[in-house]
């Protein structure tokens, strides 16, 4: 086997701050990174445009965008325009939770991994500074890894899959500091749930609040473009 050949990894890249950092970490660990994004019927396309820029800037070998239509299921403020994105903190799991999203995304990442011969999948979920989503917890990641190795030809043949969630125990500030060390340009990223077509953030949603607080705590200048008055 050629020792110069790098192992391959599929990295979920949404266009946001966390997934950009996750991609940079995977690259720093020596993987050839295959970025995977989803056009799933989300409220805006700015994050997909950001994902393309992030994948390019961080040297992804390939960047695939899979088209889904989770609007047919609905049940989330991110896929149903009739549900408003909250601008104040809420109790419990917020309406921005997209039912089964990470399960679906990881399943498709698993399929692509089998096709390209990758045994590693990276996802930028976080269980510290997050909105209470159940599919961002360590228990879910561990369970999906077990499922991946039971449900695939590669897994049955002994080519074990590993689901990496390197941000799982980090605060938003720690994520930003790690990304800065790895050369991530956060000006390319879009985190806002209600960004406009130019990627300008509302400054009011939960994602904007966590992002802004993270930059302040990290002591890093916030490059986020905000809508006028936000």
Look at residue 227 and tell me if it is in a domain: no
User: pTM of the entire structure?
Assistant: 0.94
Residue 167 within a domain: yes
pLDDT in tens, 134-192: 999 999 999 999 999 999 999 999 999 999 999 999 999 999 999 999 999 999 999 99
Structural domain boundaries, residue 168: 8-218
Please tell me whether residue 79 adopts helix, strand or coil conformation.
coil
Mean pLDDT value across the chain? 93
Is there a domain that residue 207 lies in?
Answer: yes
Residue 55 lies in a domain: yes
The strand pair at 62-67 and 32-39 is best described as parallel
Query: For the segment 204-228, what is each residue's pLDDT rounded down to a tens digit?
Result: 998 999 999 999 999 999 999 999 7
Res. 4 pLDDT band, cuts 50 70 90: confident
Q: How confident is the model at residue 1 (pLDDT cuts 50, 70, 90)?
A: very low
Q: Is residue 230 part of a domain?
A: no
Per-residue pLDDT band at 63 (split at 50, 70, 90): very high
Q: Who's near 149: CB < 8 A, 6+ residues apart?
A: 155, 160, 161
Residue 10 has pLDDT above 50, yes or no: yes
pLDDT bucket at 131, cuts 50 / 70 / 90 = low
For residue 151, report the phi and psi dihedrals to the nearest 5 degrees: -100, 5
Which tokens go with 197? 């077509």
The total of structural domains in the chain comes to 1
The answer to whether residue 135 is domain-embedded is yes
Classify residue 213: in a domain, yes or no. yes
Q: CA of 117: how far to CAs of 30, 109, 112, 114, in Å?
A: 16, 12, 8, 5
Distance CA 60, CA 11 (A): 9
For 79, phi and psi rounded to 5 degrees?
Answer: -125, 0
Residue 91 pLDDT level (bands cut at 50, 70, 90): confident
Task: Report the CATH number at residue 86.
Answer: 3.40.50.620
Q: Read off the pLDDT of each residue in 66-92 and give the average, rounded to a whole number.
A: 90
């Amino acid at each position: 086997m050629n020792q110069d050949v790098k192992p391959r990894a599929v990295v979920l890249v949404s266009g946001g701050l966390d997934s950009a950092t996750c991609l940079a970490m995977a690259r720093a660990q020596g993987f050839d990174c295959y970025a995977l994004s989803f056009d799933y019927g989300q409220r805006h396309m700015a994050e997909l445009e950001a994902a393309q820029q992030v994948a390019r800037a961080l040297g992804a070998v390939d960047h695939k965008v899979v088209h889904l239509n989770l609007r047919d299921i609905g049940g989330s403020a991110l896929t149903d325009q009739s549900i408003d994105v909250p601008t104040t903190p809420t109790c419990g799991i917020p309406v921005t939770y997209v039912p089964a999203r990470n399960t679906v995304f990881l399943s498709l990442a698993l399929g692509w991994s089998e096709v390209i011969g990758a045994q590693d999948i990276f996802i930028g979920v976080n269980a510290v500074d997050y909105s209470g989503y159940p599919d961002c917890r360590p228990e879910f990641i561990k369970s999906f890894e077990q499922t991946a190795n039971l449900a695939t030809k590669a897994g049955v043949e002994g080519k074990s899959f590993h689901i990496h969630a390197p941000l799982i125990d980090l605060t938003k500030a720690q994520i930003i500091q790690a990304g800065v060390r790895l050369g991530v340009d956060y000006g390319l990223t879009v985190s806002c749930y209600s960004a406009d077509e130019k990627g300008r953030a509302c400054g009011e949603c939960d994602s904007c609040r966590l992002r802004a607080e993270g930059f302040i705590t990290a002591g890093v200048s916030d490059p986020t473009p905000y809508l006028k008055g936000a």
